[in-house]
Chain A
Amino acid sequence: GPKVLQIPSHQIIDMGQMVTLNCDPVSNHLYFYWYKQILGQQMEFLVNFYNGKVMEKSKLFKDQFSVERPDGSYFTLKIQPTALEDSAVYFCASSRDWGGADQDTQYFGPGTRLLVL
């Protein structure tokens, strides 16, 4: 099926540092998403993004988080500064459309495992 790539696969950083997680979505997809999964817990929605704008964000999407996709390059999640509770696997997803049809199907990347020390 369609492939979403994420770089890096693992990242270890010290608390307070900045980190940028990169996502290469499916080429003809227009909607982009970030999800967070803490080990052993439920996958949770962070944010969705379309046409250069955040459309919806959850309570987990703290002020320290930001997303962008400059000029059709990587879709990025930046955390600045990081906190211990940011340690999790972050999954990027993309979909062609939204509104109730098969084109809404979200395809996920393999995740970036972030460890904040």
Chain B
Amino acid sequence: GQQVQQSPASLVLQEGENAELQCNFSTSLNSMQWFYQRPGGSLVSLFYNPSGTKHSGRLTSTTVIKERRSSLHISSSQTTDSGTYLCALVYGSSGNKLIFGIGTLLSVKP
């Protein structure tokens, strides 16, 4: 079956430190989507990244299809970055579906 594994499960940083979140997948895919899930539960789309590297402010996403992995890099972390980061494999042959990882819980301390 389709599998998406995220690491680490949780991460604690001091403000200003960088973070590298990993996502590994075991099946072919259309793309990878990264989300930030707020403590209240709502999801914010960060990146849609089928391959290569994309940048958005302090965030960078890199997807390497051959190695079946995608990463999210957060530079100069801030306390407001705290929350859960989810990767999701964009998969499907009759319309897309997202197959989610369990998430990385990030806590940034002042």
Chain A residues close to B by CB (< 8 Å): 1, 31, 33, 35, 37, 42-45, 48, 50, 55-56, 58, 89, 91, 93, 95, 98-102, 104-111, 113
Contacts and interface: CB of A to CB of B under 8 A. Distances in A.
A49 B102 CA distance: 25
Contacts of A31: 95-96
A50 B96 CA distance: 11
Contact of B42 (A33, A35, A95, A108): A108
B30 interface: yes
Range of interface residues on B (Cβ < 8 Å):
20 to 34
A42 B102 contact: yes
A102 B33 CA distance: 10
B55 interface: no
Given A95-B96, A110-B42, 15 more contacts: A1-B44, A35-B98, A42-B101, A42-B102, A42-B103, A48-B95, A55-B95, A56-B97, A100-B30, A104-B30, A104-B90, A106-B45, A106-B90, A110-B40, A111-B41
Contacts of A1: 44-45
